[in-house]
Amino acid sequence: MAHDEVNWSANYAYRAPKIARPRTAGEVQELVTAATDASPVRALGTRHTFNDVADPGDSGTLVNLAELPAKIEIDAERRVVTVAGGLRYGDLALALAAEGWALHNLASLPHISVAGAVATATHGSGSRNGNLSSVVAALTFVDGSGSLVTLRRGDADFDGAVVAFGSLGIVTELELDIVPTFEIAQTIYLGVPYERVSEALDLAYSVSVFTDWSPSSINQLWVKAAVAAPSVEASVRELGATPALHKVHMIAAADAAATTEQFGVAGSWHERLAHFKLDFQPSAGEEIQTEYLLPRRHAQAAVAAVRELTANVTPLLLISELRAIAADGLWLSTAYSSGDDEWADGAIAFHFTWKREQAAVETASALLEATLARFGARPHWGKVYTDAARIPALYPRFADFAALVQKYDPRGVFRNAYTRRLGL
């Protein structure tokens, strides 16, 4: 591999021999027009994926969007912001906060690109908060013919195009809903019983449960409460939890200085909703991630099922995180609901941050997938999973999405090993 390109945690080396760094949307169009099914292209974001979703293969070209103009245009009247696809959430958040605006939520780390996070249904936390793709109001992408296509909320193909993991085209620009700025106070608690995890997830605006699946109780409860909302202190204590006395990192051996402020100190949304500060190394770095989302109603049963796997999971684990996410109607969103199905009351995400031991992680992941399959679990598109064959059946609109792939990429210039495993 000529460029020695690897993903964020270096567990995956891209096979593509070439990497392009276009400076304009027109240059992206030229790259796509020149591509073929034998020499495909795939967009490369901030590389926070742990599989080959972005890899066009050993005859393809990676398209790095980081050098596109860093567009940020706020429309206060319509309450939207238009951004370049390659922009990082942390940079967008700083610009919005400076003008008195906010996004509804952020993922665990602000270092990831907007287009990449949206395309894989990446999410933050909050039982009433949709994932990051749920606030997309419009997107512009270069389709397989090299044409610029813009789809807006309400257009016939929009719900199928937002979460598409690069299969319809290269996203150059997005329009996101924004809200007036708000403040969050983050407090870390210890000692919540496993049997009350589902209750804990509803305590505040954003809640994360961290555990190594040891037999006693969960390790940490991260409560991010809206300052304007009623206090949640009494509800947390009723669960049997007590506040942490020292600043903590969810991974015991890591430096807590990298995490956002704790101890209930109020701060702007962009300084609290993410777990990690923009100017620090997030998480562990040398790691592998897997994640599975399942209907919220199965939360406690799934917790009990995973606890049965402690001997297989805990020795390889750095930490696991559980979060609730509201349902949405985007066809390939991992929180997709038709509105009258078992996903209607939202999803719960079971996230696993592993030591960087690829073969062992794949073995553990296969065991988790088999265990969580009884609850209809959907794997995160950008993280390690082992059973692609069952995925189409997990999405009622998957056949409709496959038709969109044919419509927007009839030449097959965005297809790769990842999409072929899904039958696309």
Arithmetic mean of pLDDT, 12-38: 96
- Pull the structure tokens for residue 304: 């009990």
Task: Give, in degrees to the nearest 5, the angle at Cα 361 between 358 and 363.
Answer: 110
For residue 324, give every residue at least 6 positions away whose Cβ sits within 8 Å of its Cβ, in sequence order, or none: 125, 126, 127, 201, 202, 207, 296, 299, 346, 347, 348, 349
Q: What DSSP assignment string belongs to 273-332?
A: SSSB-TTS--S-SSEEEEEEEEEGGGHHHHHHHHHTTHHHHGGGEEEEEEEEE--B--TT
| Over residues 76-97, mean pLDDT | 96
Q: Give the chain's mean pLDDT.
A: 94
Confidence of residue 215 (pLDDT cuts 50, 70, 90): confident
Taking residues 338-347, report their average pLDDT: 97
**pLDDT score, position 253:** 83
Instruction: Output the pLDDT for position 281.
Output: 63
Q: What sign has the CA pseudo-torsion 267, 269, 274, 278?
A: negative
| Average of per-residue pLDDT across 243-256 | 90
pLDDT per position as a tens digit, 108-166: 888 899 999 999 999 999 999 999 999 999 999 999 999 999 999 999 999 999 999 99
Please give the CATH number for the structural domain made up of 18-64: 3.30.43.10
pLDDT at 3 over 60: no
The whole-number pLDDT of residue 280 equals 66
Provide the pLDDT for residue 283: 61
Name the pTM for this structure: 0.95
pLDDT reported for residue 277: 86
Which pair of structure tokens corresponds to residue 140? 């512009």
The DSSP element (H or E) to which 169 belongs, if any, is none
Answer yes or no: are the C-beta atoms of 416 and 41 closer than 8 Å.
no
Cβ 322 vs Cβ 300: under 8 Å: no
Share of the chain above pLDDT 90, in %: 88
The Cα-based distances of 305 to 201, 227, 234, 308, 325 in angstroms read 18, 35, 30, 5, 20
Instruction: Please list, in sequence order, all residues whose beta carbon lies within 8 angstroms of the beta carbon of residue 391, skipping any fewer than 6 positions away.
Output: 378, 379, 398, 422
Please check the confidence at residue 1 and state whether its pLDDT lies above 50: no
Domain spanning 183-387: CATH 3.40.50.720: no
Tell me the per-residue pLDDT of 268-319, one tens digit each, with 9 for 90 and over: 999 999 999 887 666 667 899 999 999 999 999 999 999 999 999 999 999 9
Question: Number of C-alpha atoms within 13 angstroms, CB side, residue 407?
Answer: 11
- pLDDT score for 282: 65
Question: What is the H or E stretch that residue 417 is in?
Answer: helix 417-421
**Which sequence spans correspond to the domains of the chain?**
18-64, 72-180+397-410, 183-387
Site of tokens 């937002």:
162
* Residue 110 pLDDT: 86
Please name the CATH architecture into which domain 72-180+397-410 falls: 2-Layer Sandwich (3.30)
Of 114-128, 222-236, 393-407, which range is least confident? 222-236
Q: What is the pLDDT of residues 8-20, one digit of tens each?
A: 889 999 999 999 9
Please check whether residue 380 is in contact with residue 353, taking contact to mean a CB–CB distance below 8 angstroms: no
Comparing 39-48, 214-223, 410-419, which segment has the lowest mean pLDDT? 214-223
* Domains 72-180+397-410 and 183-387 equal at CATH topology level: no
